């Protein structure tokens, strides 16, 4: 429910606030802490949407250990870069953070309330609106720009109640999300196992098996033939050149090769698309570099379009293989990163010549078609459940953000909830 009465806030990004609230500039209740320290004397901390936490041992360290900012327990820390939106929190530790963060000492306010306020969508947009661009889609907001942003100032006892209420509600939401994410992981593992089973062993469990030298290093039906990728993959290297306006922009993702939404402006785009490659339906897209880090190294395009020239594009000989069978086989490989033995160099690149020599277990074409049909039928129900779970997780995330924004800005009155 709402508060009984509101007034004009004097805040550009928040038109009204409850009548018993005030407003102020951030600098009225936060002092800048800019002491430089070493991570040898003060342990390194990370700042993320989860708050301020000890930095993992595996995290990338700064070359100059003295080039960091001091953080004391109770300080509020916020990452100033727009690609780290919502990364902030109250520190429970003494430590140090990288220079990209703003470290503030709260006074006269209850810091946990502002932990939520500074993560609310409306405030986050205002924070980065006051920043300055480094490159086209990256903004940094410095203290002198942050300090004059107007924010709501509820009575201190209400700040405490709001923070306690959100602590309780967010814990419940996150618990529900974790449960759904575990269910989602189980379904994805089930789907992966089903695909891996039929693309390696076929549909008939009673046929003789024999070992074949492929990335999966396992047995296959003995009547399948071992061939090399070069037998059925034909590299495509056509560049779009000056014709980029004729093609839709494609992207390789964990959901396959998708059409990018250029109009939204989200994500990074190159200066031009001249070096991008043309992709046709039923062509395979491979990302054969950064193998361990890349979320998905293979995709099958269902559309005409263009994709970054860093990827390898292949047409398949459909008189030999069903493109969907090849895609399913390489999905099984990708799910366990079985291309590791084939890459080299710091960028973990599978070179073209080596990739074309990789072994592939080739069933008769009619058996491939039957396997593809089985996979599509078997995974359809799983995909439906996966879609529903993803939708529920997204709605929980949206609800969490909406709840935070509504409560910390006084658009929802939680006093009755705490009585």
Same topology for domains 6-154 and 206-362, yes or no?
Answer: yes
Q: What would the 3-class secondary structure string for 32-61 be? A: ECCCEECCCCCCEEEEECCEEEECCCCCCC
Q: pTM here?
A: 0.74
For 66, the token pair is 């003295």
CATH class of 155-202+364-419: mainly alpha
Beta bridge partners of 32: 104
| pLDDT tens sequence for the chain (419 residues) | 899 999 999 999 999 999 999 999 999 999 999 899 988 889 999 999 889 999 877 555 555 556 899 999 999 999 998 888 888 999 999 999 999 999 999 999 999 999 999 989 889 888 888 877 655 457 788 899 999 999 999 999 999 999 999 999 999 999 999 999 999 999 999 999 999 999 999 999 999 999 999 999 999 999 999 999 999 999 999 999 999 889 999 999 988 999 987 765 555 677 789 999 999 999 999 999 998 889 999 999 999 999 999 999 999 999 999 999 999 999 999 999 999 999 999 889 999 999 999 999 999 999 999 999 999 998 898 999 999 999 999 999 999 999 999 999 999 998 766 55
CATH 3.40.1710.10 fits 6-154, yes or no: no
- 17 by DSSP, 3-state: which? strand
Helices 365-408 and 156-201, packing angle to 10 deg: 180
Q: Are 262 and 286 in contact (CB under 8 A)?
A: no
Q: Using one digit for the tens of pLDDT, what is the confidence trace for 93-128? A: 999 999 999 999 999 999 999 999 998 988 988 888
Alpha helices by DSSP H, 77-155: 111-117, 121-129, 143-146
The DSSP-derived string for 58-87 is TSPPPSSTTSEEEE-TT-EEEE-BGGGTT-
Parallel/antiparallel/unpaired status of strands 22-25 and 45-48: unpaired
Q: Where are the domains of the chain?
A: 6-154, 155-202+364-419, 206-362
CATH number for the region 206-362 comes to 3.90.220.20
Cα–Cα distances in Å, from 4 out to 7, 17, 362? Answer: 11, 11, 72
What are the pLDDT digits (tens) for 318-375?
999 999 999 999 999 999 999 999 999 988 999 999 999 999 999 999 999 999 999 9
């Amino acid at each position: 429910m709402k508060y009984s009465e509101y007034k004009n806030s004097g805040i550009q990004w928040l038109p009204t606030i409850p009548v018993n609230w005030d407003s102020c500039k951030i600098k009225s209740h936060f002092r800048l802490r800019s002491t430089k320290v070493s991570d040898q004397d003060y342990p390194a901390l990370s700042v993320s949407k989860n708050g301020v936490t000890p930095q993992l041992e595996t995290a990338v360290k700064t070359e100059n250990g003295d080039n960091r900012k001091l953080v004391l327990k109770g300080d509020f820390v916020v990452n100033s870069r727009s690609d780290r939106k919502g990364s902030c929190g109250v520190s429970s530790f003494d430590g140090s953070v990288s220079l990209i963060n703003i470290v503030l000492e709260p006074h006269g306010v209850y810091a946990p309330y502002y932990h939520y306020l500074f993560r609310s969508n409306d405030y986050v947009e205002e924070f980065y609106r006051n920043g300055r661009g480094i490159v086209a889609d990256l903004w940094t907001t410095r203290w002198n720009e942050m300090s004059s942003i107007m924010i709501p100032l509820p009575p201190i006892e209400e700040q405490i109640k709001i923070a306690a209420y959100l602590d309780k509600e967010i814990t419940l939401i996150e618990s529900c999300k974790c449960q759904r994410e575990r269910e989602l992981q189980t379904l994805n593992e089930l789907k992966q196992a089903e695909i891996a089973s039929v693309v390696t062993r076929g549909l008939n469990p009673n046929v003789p098996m024999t070992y074949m030298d492929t990335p999966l290093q396992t047995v296959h039906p003995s009547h399948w033939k071992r061939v090399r990728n070069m037998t059925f993959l034909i590299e495509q290297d056509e560049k779009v050149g000056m014709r980029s306006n004729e093609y839709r922009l494609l992207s390789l993702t964990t959901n396959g090769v998708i059409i990018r939404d250029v109009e939204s402006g989200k994500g990074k785009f190159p200066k031009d698309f001249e070096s991008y490659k043309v992709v046709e339906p039923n062509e395979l897209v491979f990302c054969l570099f950064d193998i361990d880090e890349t979320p998905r190294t293979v995709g099958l395009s269902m559309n005409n379009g263009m994709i970054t020239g860093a990827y390898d594009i292949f047409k398949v000989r459909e008189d030999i293989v069903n493109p969907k069978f090849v895609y399913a086989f390489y999905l099984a490989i990708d799910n366990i990163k079985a291309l590791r033995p084939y890459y080299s160099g710091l960028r973990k690149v599978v070179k073209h010549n080596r990739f074309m020599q990789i072994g592939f277990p080739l069933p008769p074409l009619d058996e491939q078609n039957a396997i593809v049909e089985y996979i599509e039928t078997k995974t359809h129900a799983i995909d439906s459940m996966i879609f529903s779970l993803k939708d529920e997780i997204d709605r929980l995330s949206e609800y969490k953000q909406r709840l935070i924004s509504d409560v910390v800005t006084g658009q929802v009155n939680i006093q009755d909830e705490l009585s």
